[in-house]
Structure 1
Amino acid sequence: MAEARRRAEAGLTQPLWIMAHRQTAGRGRRGRSWAAGNGNLATTLVFRPYCTAAEGARRSFLAANALFEALAIYIDRSRLSLKWPNDVLLNEGKVAGILLESAGNGPFLDWLSIGIGVNLSTVPEGIENASFGPVSLSGEGGDEVSAETFLSVLASSYATQEAKLEKFGFARIREDWLRHAARLGDVITARTAREEIRGVFDTIDDDGNLILITGTGPKSIPAADIYF
């Protein structure tokens, strides 16, 4: 992500995928650490999307859909699910995560980077008391695949998502994401910085916000940690 920012600010002319063979300062959402591990994928797509910040944020759903389809080549897709807002689960464990960063001074973004970490072959050490413990693709019975090969598949899958967005709009992306959403229709808990909300996971709206049906009616949640 740091290298993506450097490239973007130096004058990016076309979309660029960056892969780290070794990562020493990985990070996740809200400043949390992220350990890539040997044989795993740590990559960032950086580009100029010519869109608003809100439209850029929706790219996390494109990335999730792309990750789902790429992983489904190497393991039974029925064992995969998408956890709002930006994780991919395999057998209810976290196999991949997504982190977005962007910059822009006006109504449109100057650049957007989509960081993706995938546990292809190993599980990071030292992660305790995680709500969704880390798992790896090969550790759960998936085919072994190198980071380089998986990145090629992922890049192609993401390009397909961008083509869908351009042709059909976010409604199609949202529909595809909901088809694989973890615990859709179940009671879940959303923990924000200010409160904890429990309700039935009904849908995501056109902005990608989580919609929970609670005892006092529907609640729209733009950002939270989710617990099942």
Structure 2
Amino acid sequence: MSKGNALMLLSDKNWAGELSCHGGHTLSVQLFDEIDSTNAEALRQFKCLDEKAHCLPTVLIAKSQTAGRGRRGRAWVSKPGAGLYLSLMRSFTLAPDALQGLSLVVGMAVRTALASLGAAEISLKWPNDLVYHGRKLGGILLELRQEADLCHVVMGIGINIDLATQEALHLDRPAVDLAEIMGEAVTQEALCTALLNQLSRDIDQFIAQGFESFVVRWNEADYYLGKRVAVEQGEHRLLGVSRGVDSTGALLLLKEGTDNSGTLLRFEGGELSPSLRPDGE
């Protein structure tokens, strides 16, 4: 099979039929041949809502983006056929603090959906990356807008489908795509349907039970659990051993002392990377 056949595009008519209901929720589907960013468009639409209006769950899907974004304002290259680019809009009555672990839940949902389609051995990198043997497959970007008693959330998802179409060797970090992992075609319809159904189930669980019900599942999928890592927050960089996440989704880092003791630190945000310091030093 050629990598160029990794993603088969279907007609807009088929999209509407398959994606209009996910997990029992009515879903509005918006398709774009090209857009600056599905997340940016979702935020624009939230701004047009009445202050107390709930947003009907809406998914925005683009064939390409001219200004796709990742965390910390990084560009996300979004050429036609190279990946899946979508944003899910939902309104929550939860306070912003209660939504802290939602980005991790989205990552777990994407991982589970991909596994159901045959993409095995995918791991999670705190707080928002999907990796395959250390190479980046995709990422999650959540953006929030608070209005009165509502939190409107945009859940942006980008998954590499066929990086050959955008010269993967020019990316700034090791990457992988579904074409390499799966070795067979996956339809855009099947991929989106699996993602949205799993997202619906996991988000409903998160609303009902909080992130605590996901801790074991996250730690089982955590690529860096038990490994030496570096955590960067602004100009600060700390080294230690990852101990997974706590009941809120915060990263736990064991900072080792000179007397073989350790201090367990908690991070609600930051950039995680492998430590270059060898084990045992």
Q: Which TM-score applies when normalising by structure 1?
A: 0.90
Q: 1:97 aligns with which of 128, 139, 156?
A: 139
Letter in 2 for 1:58: G
Corresponding position of 1:88:
130
Aligned to 2:115: 72
1:42 aligns to 2:80 (yes or no): no
* 1:6 has 2:44 as partner: yes
Whole-angstrom distance in 1 between the partners of 2:62 and 2:172: 27
Q: Report the Cα distance in structure 1 between the residues aligned to 2:220 and 2:229, rounded to whole angstroms.
A: 17
Question: In the alignment, what sits opposite 2:267?
Answer: 221
Percent of paired sites with the same residue: 27
For residue 207 of structure 1, report the CA deviation from its aligned partner: 2.3
Give the equivalent residue in structure 1 for 2:156.
115
2-structure distance, mates of 1:219, 1:166: 27
> Hey, what's the Cα distance between the residues in 2 that align with 1:162 and 1:98?
15
Kindly tell me the number of residue pairs found equivalent between the two proteins.
224
User: Which is strand-richer, 1 or 2?
Assistant: 2
SS state at 1:162 partner: helix
Q: Tell me which residue corresponds to 1:205.
A: 246
Q: Which residue of 2 aligns with 1:19?
A: 61
What is the CA RMSD across the aligned residues, in angstroms?
A: 1.9
For 1:25 and 1:76, locate their aligned partners in 2 and report how far apart those are by CA, in whole Å: 28
Instruction: Quote how far apart the aligned CAs of 1:109 are.
Output: 4.3
C-alpha contact (below 8 Å) 1:57/1:100 kept by paired residues = no
Once the two structures are TM-superposed, the CA of residue 178 in structure 1 deviates from its matched residue by 1.3
Quickly say closer, same or farther: Cα 1:193–1:125, change in 2 above 3 A.
Answer: farther
Secondary structure at 2:186 match in 1: coil
Structure showing greater radius of gyration is: 2
User: Which residues of 2 match residues 150-189 of structure 1 at below 5 A?
Assistant: 150-189=191-230
The structural deviation recorded for 1:156 is 0.2
CA 1:215/1:128 → structure 2, altered by over 3 Å: closer, same or farther?
same
Q: Partners of 1:196 and 1:54 in 2: how far apart?
A: 25
> Is the Cα contact below 8 Å between 1:54 and 1:207 reproduced in 2?
no
Structure 1, unmatched stretches of 5+, are none
Counterpart of 2:70 in structure 1: which amino acid? G
What amino acid is aligned across from residue 16 of structure 1 in structure 2? T
Amino acid at match of 2:210: G
Partner Cα distance (1:121, 1:163) in 2: 31
Q: Does structure 1 retain, via aligned residues, the 8 Å contact 2:102–2:211?
A: no
Q: CA deviation at 1:142?
A: 4.2
Instruction: For residue 192 of structure 1, report the CA deviation from its aligned partner.
Output: 1.6
Given that 1:97 and 1:116 are in contact with CA atoms closer than 8 Å, whether structure 2 keeps it comes out as yes
**Whole-Å Cα distance in 2 between the matches of residues 142 and 54 of structure 1?**
41
- Do the aligned partners of residues 59 and 52 (structure 1) sit closer, same or farther apart at CA in structure 2, a change above 3 Å counting? same
Deviation at 1:171, TM superposition (A): 1.1
Distance across 1 between alignment mates of 2:219 and 2:201: 17
- When normalised by structure 2's length, the TM-score is 0.74
Q: Deviations over 1:114-151 (max 9, x none)?
A: 10000123254464442xx1210112344321333211
Using the alignment, how far apart are the partners of 1:50 and 1:90 within structure 2? 35
Name the amino acid aligned to 1:2.
Answer: A
- Structure 2 residue runs of 5 or longer lacking an equivalent are 1-38, 258-262, 275-281
Structure 1: distance between partners of 2:41 and 2:96: 21
